[in-house]
Amino acid sequence: MKKYLKQLVLVSLFLAVGIGTALAGNVVIKGSTTVLPIAQVTLEAYMKANPGVNISLSGGGSGDGIKALIDGSTDIANSSREIKKTEVEQAKSKNVEPVETIVAIDAIVPIVSPKNKVKDLTVEQLSQIYQGQITNWKEVGGENLEIVVISRDSSSGTFEAWGELVLNKAKVTPKAQLQASNGAIVQAISKNKYAIGYIGLGYVNKSVKALTVNGIKASDKTALSKEFPVSRFLYMYTNGEPKDETAKYMKFVLSPAGQALVKKEGFVPLPKKK
């Protein structure tokens, strides 16, 4: 009986160690759909190079990612905006210390249907369109067609960045059609000649036409220099300095190999340190 109990204790300890090791190799990432492709391609490369590591990924928006970090249900919160002071205060009230890591640079690109004749808009024109003050394409050099405004929803970091950089915090017209992701906006714009939307640089494809802003084309160079007026950083937030597998994964994201994947996905890699 004593021998049996001793073996049971040893088996229990073995299982406990095994579970702990398995959990140590698990990383949960949630948040921004803009950062989603970066996280997807880098985690796939990281897991391939590190068998046994399991990284789960989901979107939902920057706000949802930061909320998950605060409530302890994610290791990394992807965000296409800076964390808000109110969110930092809420985090601290739950003994969570958000630490910011910039992982890439992005441009928020206004897009229309390839059939739309308009090629360029100023920041002021974009602002007036999204506030509902300009409602017809003929007012900005296009055809006599009503503008269909398509926007991200309020949980999106891209929505908030657009609101600050373009709208100067003015409210979006209540007529705007809200979409939950960059991909959904691309799909909506590609099917509607009258529509305008905005997406992260990495989501631009041939099904839509990217507009220049103030005569400037969104590119690696113009986003990095901030010459393109709607440029921003992309972030990953952790509770305190990243540790264990989370730290190793994030180190990979910031490595030359990780940043090469950032560029491959259509986003702007961080400038090399001198």
Beta carbons within 8 Å of 64's beta carbon, 6+ residues apart: 30, 31, 155
pLDDT for position 25: 66
Phi, psi of 102 (to 5 degrees): -80, 125
pLDDT tens for each residue of 183-195: 999 999 999 999 9
128-174 tens-digit pLDDT: 999 999 999 999 999 999 999 999 998 899 999 999 999 999 999 99
Domain covering 2-105+235-264 assigned CATH 3.40.190.10 in the classification:
yes
Which residues, 6 or more positions from 126, have their beta carbon under 8 angstroms from its beta carbon? 110, 166, 213
Beta bridge partners of 60: 31
**CA 270/CA 220 separation, integer angstroms:** 10
CATH 3.40.190.10 fits 106-231, yes or no: yes
pLDDT confidence of residue 274: 62
64, 30 in Cβ contact below 8 A?
yes
Which three-class secondary structure state does DSSP give residue 215?
coil
Q: CA-to-CA distance for 106 and 224, rounded, in angstroms?
A: 8
157-165 vs 62-71: helix axis angle to the nearest 10? Answer: 120
Q: In whole angstroms, how far apart are CA 33 and each of 39, 89, 156, 181?
A: 10, 24, 8, 6
The pLDDT tens digits of the residues spanning 13-71 come to 333 333 333 345 699 999 999 999 999 999 999 999 999 999 999 999 999 999 999 99
Could you state, in order of their start, the residue ranges of all structural domains in the chain? 2-105+235-264, 106-231
- The number of C-alpha atoms within 13 Å of 67 and in the hemisphere containing its C-beta is 11
- Burial class from Cβ neighbours inside 10 Å (0-12, 13-18, 19+) for residue 116 reads buried
Distance CA 171, CA 136 (A): 19
- Name the residue with tokens 């690696």: 220
Which has the closest alpha carbon to 152: 166, 137, 141?
A: 166
106-231: same fold as 2-105+235-264?
A: yes
CA distances from 102 to 31, 35, 77, 99 (A): 15, 11, 12, 10
pLDDT at 191: 94
Q: What is the mean pLDDT of residues 212-238?
A: 96
Q: To the nearest whole percent, how much of the chain has pLDDT over 90?
A: 88
Tell which residue, 147, 125, 132, has the closest CA to residue 192.
147
Distance, in Å, from the CA atom of 181 to the CA atom of 187, rounded to the nearest integer, reads 10
In which band, very low, low, confident or very high, does the pLDDT at 272 lie, cut at 50, 70 and 90? Answer: confident
